[in-house]
Amino acid sequence: MNTAQITSLLVANRGEIARRVIRTARGMGIRTVAVYSDADARAPHVYDADLAVGLGGTTSADSYLRADKIIDAARRTNVDAIHPGYGFLSENAEFAEECVAAGIIFVGPSPDSIRRMGLKDQAKTIAREAGVPVLPDAEITGDDSDEWVAAAQSVGYPLLVKAIAGGGGKGMRRVEVADDLVDAINGARREATSSFGNPKVFIERYLEKSRHVEVQVFGDQHGGAIHLGERECSVQRRHQKVLEEAPSPVVGPELREHMGATAVALVRRLGYLGAGTVEYLLDDTTGDFYFLEMNTRLQVEHPVTEEVTGLDLVAMQLRVARGLPLGLSQSEVRRSGHAIEVRLYAEDPARDFLPTPGRLHLLEFPDTPGLRVENGVAPSGEVSAHYDPMIAKIIVHAENREESAIALAAALDATRIHGIVTNRDFLSAVLRNRDFLSGETTTDFLDRHAELFDPPRSTPQVVHVAAAVSVSVAIRRRNDTVTGFASPGFRDIAAPLTTSAVWEAIGNDPVVVDYTLSSGAGDADLFLRVDGVEHTVQLVDLTESAVRVRFEGVDHPCAVTTHDDGSVWVDSPASSSGWRPRPRLPETTSLAASAAGPISEIPGTVVDVLVSAGDTVEAGQKLVVLEAMKMEHAALAGVGGVVESVNVAVGQYVEAQVELVTICEGGPS
């Protein structure tokens, strides 16, 4: 079999995975081409590549999902191959066929393999034929809800409604009782249509106590097929992975060999080429495992496999795409240590993981041994509302699982992120959780640990308030043309002066702060009343960018940064918070606080309107469904009453803080 050359490569993706592929390609001497939407014109992956081509458009549908635009960019830059990354067109058989038709190597499996494994119902049939155990399931067809209920009864509750196409938790709903089935199927169909262009769904038995364990596989054009061991990805929210690790804490050598052998058997049956992942549910009670799906692409979590095996999976993809053999037998695969990866997202765990798009003022990772960072957003870039809210993947490889978890938690603590709310503290709390450290990581882990969504502050709030207030005063003093010479607490009259202000904790409720700052010999005392509670702290080494806050006998060193939007961010050794001072109490309430109807909390597209003018609604009733950052978000009635007007329509794009439905509380007057 002849081999091909890859001297130039177009990466048909964005963010951290585009940067990851470009990095390996450059190390192999391959010229790289990036593509970008209008929203990503200044994104890091654009600058990493040797050449870049704009696709136009802002949404995925107008850019990264446009196969015609990507093929045209490949032709114009005369590339040999296209790497699809993950998501977008990576598992699109038609796109792979178009690459082949254009004489361009598609770095991935054959279109036939993608098509056969891309629809979960067909994939399960092939898995059955290969002798892989599968869970009871049923396809949902037509619009007869009675037939849906009958099918669900045959499968049994609890169950999952799952999109036949795609993955990543999109188009998936858990159903406990029959009364919730119809709404779940309709919602899953709608989300599947939006995410994958295919509304078909099926239902599958849900295991109450299980683990999500997946096996990394590779195949070449010479009949070679190997696995690289397993990853566990059980810690999930909304059926999307939060944390991944290799190896699994419960998979021993015998089970690893069994799972790996079935995965390789599936690869051989398909004649599969390149990187793939066979995903299983592992029953934590019986030790039995069941086929879920096969991802015919590189996975988000591939770095943990790379860390424990020492292999470069992207380099292996490029090698087999050229027609070369893997050059690695199963017996030559070695694994050492333990690796854990977390996904740092722009989202608020305390608000049901609501995405928090916006501008990043600062993104700074520590220099820690064993730490690997894959980031797709620039330190002063924008987390766009149009795409997945991932900021970075952070990985630690250590000698054992506990060392890896503790080191990764410490690295997260030392990561500085200014501008938006993230899940950083949530991830750190998960890694330090006793059940996590003991390996009790079944798929219901987060359901069992709701306290992790809003973990307690590792630094008292008053310490960060004191740091923000005192440094802000120091900066104002420096800029004062009359008294700029004086120390922050200096006054030219004897009477004390108490200043009152509202400080908005970014991502949390505002706090009312009254403070008096008095300077001493080199230090300063700060008297604070925070939401009516009085505190006294001592400020040591106060400058315009830092201060040591002495509170209840403990010194807390705080770095303080003021950004051009007026926000003040405080970083202490194990905590970070953002603040925005308001000189006076607000004179008017915000729209979100005053409106009787639901408000769009983030920008998004309306995908469903469930009420009409004149309808009577109850508090908590779902009124409108928005899609933002690849997920659906329900807007609920805050009060009971009568719908006065519906202010949006399906397909409409709305900005944040827009009143979606106007409700006359209690009914018409």
The CATH number linked to 501 is 3.30.700
Maximum C-alpha span of the chain: 91
Coil, helix or strand for 286? coil
Residue 586's pLDDT is what? Answer: 45
Quick one: 311 and 448 in the same domain?
A: yes
Quick one: 281 and 423 in the same domain?
A: yes
Residue 67's pLDDT is what? Answer: 98
Neighbours of 276 (CB within 10 A): 27
Look at residue 69 and tell me if it is in a domain: yes
Choosing from 409, 433, 453, the residue where a domain stops is 453
Domain tally, the chain: 5
Residue 168's pLDDT is what? Answer: 64
Quick one: 217 and 199 in the same domain?
A: no
Answer whether the bond into residue 158 is a cis peptide, omega within 30°.
Answer: yes
Quick one: 265 and 386 in the same domain?
A: yes
The CATH number of the domain holding residue 199 is 3.30.1490.20
Pairing of strands 8-11, 81-83: parallel
Nearest CA among 262, 234, 229 for reference residue 247: 229
Backbone angles phi, psi at 452, to 5 degrees: -75, -20
The CATH number of the domain holding residue 617 is 2.40.50.100
Quick one: 570 and 601 in the same domain?
A: no
Look at residue 46 and tell me if it is in a domain: yes
Nearest CA among 567, 589, 588, 587 for reference residue 579: 567
Choosing from 453, 486, 501, the residue where a domain stops is 453
Residue 268, C-beta contacts closer than 8 angstroms, at least 6 positions apart: 219, 223, 225
Quick one: 446 and 492 in the same domain?
A: no
Coil, helix or strand for 264? helix
Q: Which residue has the tokens 């400080």?
A: 503
Residue 433 DSSP one-character state? -
Neighbours of 542 (CB within 10 A): 24
Residue 534, C-beta contacts closer than 8 angstroms, at least 6 positions apart: 527, 528
Per-residue pLDDT reduced to its tens digit, 316-346: 999 999 999 999 999 999 999 999 999 999 9
Q: Which two tokens stand for residue 322?
A: 């050229």
Residue 588's pLDDT is what? Answer: 41
Run means of pLDDT, 10 residues per run, the chain, 669 residues = 90 98 98 97 97 95 96 98 96 97 98 91 87 88 92 92 78 92 92 82 89 98 97 92 97 96 95 97 93 95 98 98 96 97 95 90 93 92 89 97 97 95 95 97 94 88 94 83 49 53 84 81 81 93 94 96 94 91 53 61 84 89 81 83 91 84 74
Please give the radius of gyration of the chain, using alpha carbons only, rounded to the nearest integer. Answer: 27
Look at residue 54 and tell me if it is in a domain: yes
Domain range for 176: 136-205
Q: Which residue has the tokens 């250590």?
A: 398
Choosing from 422, 453, 484, the residue where a domain stops is 453
Coil, helix or strand for 654? strand
Pairing of strands 8-11, 31-36: parallel
Dist CA 90 CA 298 (whole Å): 9
Residue 544 DSSP one-character state? S
Backbone angles phi, psi at 471, to 5 degrees: -70, -35
Coil, helix or strand for 157? coil
Residue 628's pLDDT is what? Answer: 74
Quick one: 406 and 272 in the same domain?
A: yes
Quick one: 480 and 570 in the same domain?
A: yes
The CATH number of the domain holding residue 48 is 3.40.50.20
Dist CA 164 CA 217 (whole Å): 22
Quick one: 344 and 488 in the same domain?
A: no
Q: How far is CA 532 from the centre of its chain?
A: 37
Helices (H), 10-119: 15-27, 44-48, 67-77, 93-101, 111-118
Per-residue pLDDT reduced to its tens digit, 26-48: 999 999 999 999 999 999 999 99
Look at residue 117 and tell me if it is in a domain: no
Q: Which amino acid is at 576?
A: S
Dist CA 288 CA 500 (whole Å): 63
Look at residue 112 and tell me if it is in a domain: no
Residue 492's pLDDT is what? Answer: 43
Q: For the CA atoms of 285, 288, 294, 297, what is the dihedral angle to 10 degrees?
A: 70
Quick one: 485 and 516 in the same domain?
A: yes
Look up the pTM and report it.
Answer: 0.85
- How big is the chain, counted in residues? 669
Beta bridge partners of 137: 204
Coil, helix or strand for 353? coil
For residue 55, what are the CA distances in angstroms to 49, 75, 195?
A: 15, 13, 19
Q: Exposed (0-12), middle (13-18) or buried (19+): which is 614, by Cβ within 10 Å?
A: exposed
Q: Which amino acid is at 190?
A: R
Quick one: 143 and 257 in the same domain?
A: no
Look at residue 121 and tell me if it is in a domain: no
Residue 583's pLDDT is what? Answer: 57
